[in-house]
Chain A
Amino acid sequence: MALRKIEQRKKRISFTILSIISVLWIIPVMWVISTSFKTEQEAVSGGINLIPNDFTLDSYRFIFNDTNNNILHYIKNSLIAASSHTLLYLLIASLAAYGYAIVRWKFRDVMFWFLISTMMIPNVMNLIPLYSIMIQFGWLDKLQALVVPGLGGVFGIFLLRQFFLGIPKDLIESARIDGASHIQIYLRIVLPLAKPALIVVGLFSFMGNWNDYLWPLIVLNGDTYRTLPIGLALMQGNYNIYYSRLMAATVVSIVPVLAMFMVAQRFFIRGITMTGIKN
């Protein structure tokens, strides 16, 4: 009985502390959302009210209708780059993970160990030479520069391999005995079973590509393939911009991420747990 009481008191204390911190945690976003619905005069008038006195959708009309800004164009670019990167990576990484987890071959473990050990090398060392390679490939200011180099990433393969190793050996052995080829086993047994892991890896590569700032900043010059993070940064640097519009653009950039999180929260949590526990 006493133990249960202590338990409940703990829950109450924890609830109180977490509630307070959560409110503080959300305020910045609330402030931004609130500004986006204010008129520009109200936004810069120094009112602390979170509910606009003069509710308006003007800033959003500007974002979506005015031809002077390219936010929608940037969103489209980001979507194209991030989804093509993600689909290609899922294909390439799942094939590789199959090769490292299921098939036995001569240098498999040495190769895999080599891949993993390269994860020690900080990305910053590759930045400038990679740019030089982009020049030689003629990929500066091209979609390929945003999509292809990241396909060499090792982390997703590591996660997928880990998952593939957990697939019961009997399943694969008996398919082999029935005369199934590796491609058939990969397509019909491993991929369907690995759906949760594929979703996790897909989410991570999509978010990574969608949010990337430094690389697109370096390899893109013009507006053609400019992604949302770079476009938003440009908008911020423009001193004529209205704060209310800037905040509307910020909200627009949050919405897709928020939607994705709502739908796939458990996959995010599971994916991060996988990386941390497996160590």
Chain B
Amino acid sequence: MSTKRSVTDVLKKNAGALFVAPHFLIFATFFIIPFFYGLVISLYDWHMFFPEMREFVGFANFRRILFETDHIYHEYFINGLKNTFTFVILSVPFLVAIPLMFAILINVEPKGYKVFRGIFFLPSLLSITTLVLIWRWVLNTNVGILNLTLSEVGFDNIPWLAEQPFAWTSLIVMTIWWTIGGNMVIFTASLKEIPQSLYEAAEVDGANIVQKFFSITLPGMRNQLVYITIMTTLASFNVFGQPQLATGGGPSESTKVLMMYIREIAFGGGRPNPGIATAMAICLGVIMIFISVFQSRVIKRLG
């Protein structure tokens, strides 16, 4: 009797735990376990389909990609990391500044501003494949609308996806087109939260538009700025689909980002090496965590 009552008591007191249990079980299975499992895989010469061939190698995978300068995996890792960083550094400033500019223009609420907002937002709902299909056709060297337009005004055909610096330019432009919608919406909302009276007071003091931007607008939306900068940086570190589908990592592997190497090494043809790929993924993850913490510190200190 008493045990039965105590069971129902426990259930009643902890009903909340029952509500979260289904999610937590799935979360544990597909998030927590893989996290630790990944640490294990990175210490092995791992074989996906042949467990008996797995061999513990300690930190050899990390040593190989980080320090063995004559090893091909080290070369892949460094090149991939370099290209990923290039993408992050080239894309993030635009992915923050352009939506901010759009938001300021939309916040003035000219005629049809909701339509403009819709137009800028819409591409962010497209899949990466659709995005690349659209842009490969726009950028097509011989019959794409961009080169056709340029040739009208006397330019030669530009190989947008096959030569540098055009390849990076193209990848950045399509990424801007694809992703700024979300940031723009957040900026627009946070501009509304800045009290109009601050601007009026500044106008009385004779502040010009630039002064108002730097002394009222930017400080007023500091939280959103921090949030957006960090989220955008993290998203850019994950870049994969654009170069994978648009340039194939070319020309001569100059846009082959780390995610492409990771996928290729883990799942590609030949002899896959999931241990090495996992070690690379962990290094990338650690760099991402480190940078987002660093960013939030720096921006908070500046504010």
Q: Are A46 and B148 in contact (CB under 8 A)?
A: yes
In the complex, residue of chain B having the shortest beta-carbon distance to the beta carbon of A50: B145
Output the nearest chain B residue to A8 by Cβ-Cβ distance: B110
Q: Does A95 interact with chain B (Cβ within 8 Å)?
A: yes
Residue B13 interfacial (CB < 8 Å): yes
Bound-complex Cα distance A18 to B104 (A): 11
Contact A128 B33 (CB under 8 A): no
Please encode chain B, from 281 to 295, with 1 for each CB lying within 8 Å of some chain A CB and 0 for all others: 110110011001000
The CA-CA distance from A28 to B134 in the complex, in Å, is 6
CA distance A99 to B32 in the complex (A): 20
Residues from chain A with Cβ under 8 Å of B245 in the complex: 233, 236
A99 touches B31 (CB 8 A): no
Q: Which residue of B lies closest to A253 (CB)?
A: B130
Task: Give the chain A neighbours of B40 by CB distance below 8 A.
Answer: 129
Would you call A228 an interface residue if the criterion is a C-beta within 8 Å of the partner chain's C-beta atoms? yes
- Considering only residues 6-44 of chain A, those with a C-beta below 8 Å from chain B are 10-12, 14-15, 17-19, 21-22, 25-29, 31-32, 35, 43-44
If A14-B110, A48-B152 touch, does A92 touch B129 (CB 8 Å cutoff)?
no
A229 and B135 form a contact (CB under 8 A) = no
| A149-B48 contact in complex given A46-B148, A265-B118, A279-B227, C-beta closer than 8 Å | no
- Contact between B292 and A120, CB atoms less than 8 A apart: yes
Residues of B within 8 A of A246 (CB): 133, 137
Which residues from A are CB-within-8-Å of B285?
121-122, 124-125
Contact A211 B127 (CB under 8 A): yes
Q: Is B281 a contact partner of A127 (Cβ separation < 8 A)?
A: yes
A239 at the interface (CB under 8 A from B): no
Q: In the docked arrangement, what's the CA distance between A115 and B28, Å?
A: 10
User: In chain B between 114 and 152, which residues have their CB closer than 8 angstroms to a CB of chain A?
Assistant: 115-123, 125-130, 132-138, 142-143, 145, 148-149, 152
A60 beta carbon closer than 8 Å to chain B: no
B34–A126 contact, CB under 8 A?
A: yes
Complex Cα–Cα for A195 and B228 (A) = 27
In the assembled complex, which residues on chain B have CB atoms less than 8 Å from the CB atom of A102?
16
Minimal Cβ-Cβ distance residue in B for A268: B121
Task: Say which one of B85-93, B159-167, B211-219, B235-243 lies at the interface with A.
Answer: B235-243
Cβ contacts under 8 Å, A228 to chain B: 127, 129
For the complex, would chain B's binding face be called helix, strand, loop or mixed by DSSP majority? helix
Taking the nearest CB of chain B, how far is it from the CB of A19, in angstroms?
8
Determine if B15 and A182 form an interchain contact, defined as CB atoms under 8 angstroms apart.
yes
Report the contact-size class of chain B (Cβ under 8 Å from the partner).
Answer: 35 or more
Q: Is B69 an interface residue (CB 8 A)?
A: no
Partner of A133, one of B24, B34, B115, B278: B34
Asked if residues A128 and B30 are in contact (CB atoms below 8 Å), the reply is no
B278–A128 touching, CB < 8 Å: yes
Using known A-B contacts A11-B109, A122-B284, A214-B263, determine if residue A129 contacts B145 with beta carbons closer than 8 Å.
Answer: no
B13, B19, B111, B234 pick with most chain A CB within 10 angstroms:
B19
Q: Is the CB of B113 within 8 A of A18?
A: yes
The answer to whether B223 and A128 have CB atoms under 8 Å apart is: no
Q: How far is the CA of A277 from the CA of B138 in the complex (A)?
A: 36
The answer to the question of A5 belonging to the interface, with a C-beta cut-off of 8 Å to chain B, is: no
| Stretch among A51-59, A61-69, A105-113, A165-173 lining the B interface | A105-113
Q: Which chain B residues lie closer than 8 Å to A29 at the CB level?
A: 134
A276 is an interface residue with CB less than 8 A from chain B = yes
Chain A nearest CB from B91 CB (Å) reads 17
CA distance A35 to B126 in the complex (A): 19
- With an 8 A cutoff between CB atoms, is A257 at the interface? yes
The smallest beta-carbon distance between A123 and chain B, in angstroms, is: 7
In the assembled complex, the Cα of A131 lies from the Cα of B17 at a distance in Å of 29
Q: Decide: B241 and A14 in contact? CB cutoff 8 A.
A: no
Known contacts A18-B106, A236-B133; 6 additional CB pairs below 8 A are: A121-B35, A129-B33, A133-B33, A151-B30, A230-B129, A276-B189
Subset of 21 A-B contacts with CB under 8 Å: A11-B110, A111-B20, A121-B289, A122-B234, A122-B285, A122-B288, A124-B259, A125-B35, A125-B281, A128-B262, A152-B23, A152-B27, A152-B28, A217-B263, A229-B127, A230-B129, A236-B132, A236-B245, A253-B126, A254-B126, A268-B185
